[in-house]
Amino acid sequence: MSDLLSRITSEPGKCGGRPCIRGLRFRVTDVLDLLAAGMSQEEILAEHPDLESDDIRAALEFASRRVDHPVIVG
């Protein structure tokens, strides 16, 4: 999985420092929004030829790890 996560980059001067795919100006949230809108992986890849299937998997893995945190209720 760490190989997948190495595809996610953050640069202060690019997309406001938000997590992007392989240094491209394509944010993780862009991939997630397309999937949430109902696009298939194949449709996303056809529409965005700079992306690779592992980029989509990396975005999903990144999001999964970001939301998997304990919530302390006080």
Q: What are the tens digits of pLDDT across the range 39-53?
A: 999 999 999 999 999
pLDDT band, residue 72 (cuts 50/70/90): confident
At 9, give phi and psi (nearest 5°). Answer: -125, 155
Residue 73 has pLDDT above 90, yes or no: no
Please report, as a single letter, which amino acid is at residue 16: G
- 7 by DSSP, 3-state: which? coil
Report pTM.
0.86
Mean pLDDT rounded to a whole number for the chain: 93
Can you tell me the mean pLDDT for 14-21?
Answer: 94
Instruction: Tell me the CATH number of domain 2-67, given options 1.10.10.10, 3.40.50.850, 3.90.1150.10, 3.20.80.10.
Output: 1.10.10.10
At 51, give phi and psi (nearest 5°). Answer: -85, 155
